[in-house]
Amino acid sequence: MPQVRVVLPDLGVVRPDLLDEERRIALEADSFAWHGSRAALARDCERYDALVVEGYLVLRFSWEQVVGVPDAVADTVRRAVALVDQRHAVHSDLQTAAPPDATRR
């Protein structure tokens, strides 16, 4: 979903460009016009790091990538989704596995 509010403990409310809340994947499309100053870079780094610390996978794309090579951007997003889904499946499998028999020695 676009521009979803995410409340971060150390930073307050941020709004990633696109967010998959279930998978905790945030996508950012950065243009030099909006992100080309030192102050903007510092704010972006702080926001991205805060999202990562809270468990989000953050993918950053330049405006040129989004407009010029959208298939490559889509492929990267698909691969990230597959990676997150694979990790969730492994985690679920580990949680549902039978616990070791404590009576055996």
Neighbour tally for 47: CB within 10 Å: 19
Tell me the C-alpha distance between 16 and 5, whole Å: 8
pLDDT tens column, 9-33: 888 999 999 999 999 999 999 887 7
Exposure pattern of 63-98 as b/e (b: 16+ CB <10 Å)?
A: eeebeeeeeebeeebeebeeebeeeeeeeeeeeeee
Where do the structural domains in the chain lie, given as residue ranges? 6-96
Are the C-beta atoms of residues 14 and 51 closer than 8 Å to each other?
Answer: yes
pLDDT tens column, 75-94: 999 999 999 999 988 877 66
Query: What global pTM score does this model have?
Result: 0.78
